[in-house]
Chains A and B, each alone.
Chain A
């Protein structure tokens, strides 16, 4: 069965630096992969989707890459701000109407 590993449970970086979060999966390559942000006490919020035939996707300060050879997606936040502090989840499609979520990386941006 599919397994997802997101790098370290927690990641601390200085404000202004680029945060890089990793999502590795072990089994078949999904047709697409999604990234969500979750703040404490709230539901996850969709950020970006990248398809298997796309190498890179950008949205404002966010960038996602998808390498099906390495079975890895990287999620970058450039010029990070304290407001970016949250838990970030990657999710892989597993078939019709189904996503499989990683356990997330808790990012803290230090002012």
Chain B
């Protein structure tokens, strides 16, 4: 009965490669997010989608491209990976109308770029 799931949990790759992280939520929420948590544990929003439409796109390099095939999925594709992309990436979802943006987070994907 996993609420928000992400795959893979760990991702180790070489600089310059392209990789994707998948996220699915079974909570029936309208809004999904991607966050990046760096080595100092600062959790920063990257993107927000509501009903498959992009709402928030913070200052993120255009090498990062989110894709929402449907309301329950928000995938993150990263091109030309760089060392500085190493971090933990969290997917989250919320149902703003009912819960004032209370976020339900996935378990995270630890990305290591070598």
Contact = CB atoms under 8 A, between A and B. Distances in A.
Interface of A: 32, 34, 36, 41-46, 49, 87, 89, 91, 93, 96-101, 103-104
* Residues of B contacting A: mostly: strand
Interface of B: 4, 31, 33, 40-45, 48, 50, 55-56, 90, 92, 94, 96, 99-108
B4 to A, nearest CB: 8
A34 B96 CA distance: 13
Given A42-B107, A96-B55, A97-B55, A32 B100 contact: yes
A101 to B, nearest CB: 4
10 contacts: A43-B107, A43-B108, A45-B105, A46-B103, A97-B31, A98-B56, A101-B42, A103-B40, A103-B41, A104-B43
A36 to B, nearest CB: 8
B48 A43 contact: no
